[in-house]
């Protein structure tokens, strides 16, 4: 049985004082859950989040990192830097990074390798645009993204990786994929992993759904056999709402 993993992606939201307050309020609401809970916060909140989440079941992640270790990359943060302060997870290849910061599949692959080098656990995002969905290319696009993202990644390394299926048209739009559509896309991802890594390894990979998740729609989506929780954007900014989703 795979565990359920619920991760919040705060994107570019919340200041340190809001971060401390949020985690202090979240802690009693989620302490009994068997789900794994992760908050992916802005770089400037990471240290405060890590301090506040100590001795709780809330894990902390970053939303991006550079693939190089160090050097003349103004404004960038490396995997080693994240690891050095105790960060455990890092989102890689979010569609907003792919769209606004021109991250290619090749860059995503480099970042995953760099994250693994420093024992960070990547949450790797894939997803199709509305145009791609409407032209019937969903499975082709997401399996291609998986293939490139995981190039040269071993079965052993795959155990530290979470995949998040986030259809771009569902992100921040209020349009959620139906539970069936999300399940079908995630099944296609798992079949690709089966082809690449075999039955046992592919069955063990946590694959989340993300895109306009709310406490009102998450239960049905999380009940699908191949969906192992979610990556939550907007709804993760409200502590009550996030706690409801995290404890389903
Ligand atoms: P929303 O939940 O706001 O649609 O965002 C999803 C997302 O991008 C999480 O990474």
**Domains detected in the chain:** 5-246 (3.20.20.70)
Instruction: Calculate how far, in angstroms, residue 231's C-alpha sits from the geometric centre of ligand 1.
Output: 7
In ligand 1, the atom with minimum distance to the C-alpha of 231 is 9
Q: Per the structure block, which two tokens stand in for 136?
A: 């019937």
Q: What is the reported pLDDT for 96?
A: 98
180 has catalytic annotation: no
Q: Where are the beta strands (DSSP E) in 36-99?
A: 36-40, 58-62, 89-92
Q: Which residues pair with 242 in a beta bridge?
A: none
Which of 149-173 are b and which e, b meaning 16 or more Cβ less than 10 Å from the residue's Cβ? bbeebeeeebeebbbbbbbbbbbee
Take atom 7 of ligand 1 and give the residue whose Cα is closest. 233
The predicted-structure confidence for 35-54, as pLDDT tens digits, reads as follows 999 999 999 999 999 999 99
Percent of the chain beyond pLDDT 70? 100
Ranges of residues in the chain with a pLDDT under 70 are none
In sign, the C-alpha dihedral spanning 147, 152, 155, 161 is: negative
* Residue 136 vs residues 141, 145, 185, 198: alpha-carbon distances, Å: 10, 16, 12, 27
Q: Is 39 in the pocket of ligand 1 (CB under 6 A)?
A: no
Q: What is the reported pLDDT for 56?
A: 98
Q: What is the reported pLDDT for 175?
A: 87
Instruction: Calculate how far, in angstroms, residue 172's C-alpha sits from the geometric centre of ligand 1.
Output: 6
Residues present in the chain in total? 248
* 62, 63, 212, best to mutate for ligand 1 pocket (most atoms within 8 Å of CB): 212
Q: What is the reported pLDDT for 166?
A: 98
Q: Is 171 in the pocket of ligand 1 (CB under 6 A)?
A: yes
Q: What is the reported pLDDT for 12?
A: 98
In ligand 1, the atom with minimum distance to the C-alpha of 173 is 4
* 171, 175, 182, best to mutate for ligand 1 pocket (most atoms within 8 Å of CB): 171
Among 53, 45, 43, smallest CA distance to 23 is for 53
Q: What is the reported pLDDT for 1?
A: 79
Take atom 5 of ligand 1 and give the residue whose Cα is closest. 233
Q: What is the reported pLDDT for 124?
A: 98
């Amino acid at each position: 049985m795979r565990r359920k993993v619920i991760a919040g992606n705060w994107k570019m939201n919340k200041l340190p004082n809001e971060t401390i307050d949020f985690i202090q309020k979240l802690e009693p609401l989620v302490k009994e859950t068997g789900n794994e809970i992760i908050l992916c916060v802005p770089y400037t909140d990471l240290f405060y989040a890590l301090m506040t989440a100590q001795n709780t079941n809330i894990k902390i992640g970053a939303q991006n990192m550079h693939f190089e270790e160090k050097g003349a990359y103004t404004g960038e943060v490396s995997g080693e830097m994240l690891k050095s302060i105790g960060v455990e997870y890092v989102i890689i290849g979010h569609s907003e990074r792919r769209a606004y910061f021109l991250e290619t599949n090749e860059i995503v692959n480099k970042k995953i390798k760099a994250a693994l080098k420093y024992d960070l656990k990547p949450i790797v995002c894939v997803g199709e645009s509305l145009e791609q969905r409407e032209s019937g290319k969903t499975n082709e696009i997401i399996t291609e993204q998986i293939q490139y993202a995981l190039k040269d990644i071993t079965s052993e390394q795959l155990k530290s990786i979470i995949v998040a299926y986030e259809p771009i048209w569902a992100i921040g739009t209020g349009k959620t994929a139906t539970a069936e559509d999300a399940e079908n896309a995630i099944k296609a991802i798992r079949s690709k992993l089966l082809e690449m890594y075999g039955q046992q390894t592919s069955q063990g990979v946590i694959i989340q759904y993300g895109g306009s998740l709310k406490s009102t729609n998450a239960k049905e989506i999380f009940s699908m056999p191949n969906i192992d929780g979610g990556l939550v954007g907007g709804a993760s900014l409200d502590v009550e709402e996030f706690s409801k989703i995290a404890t389903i």
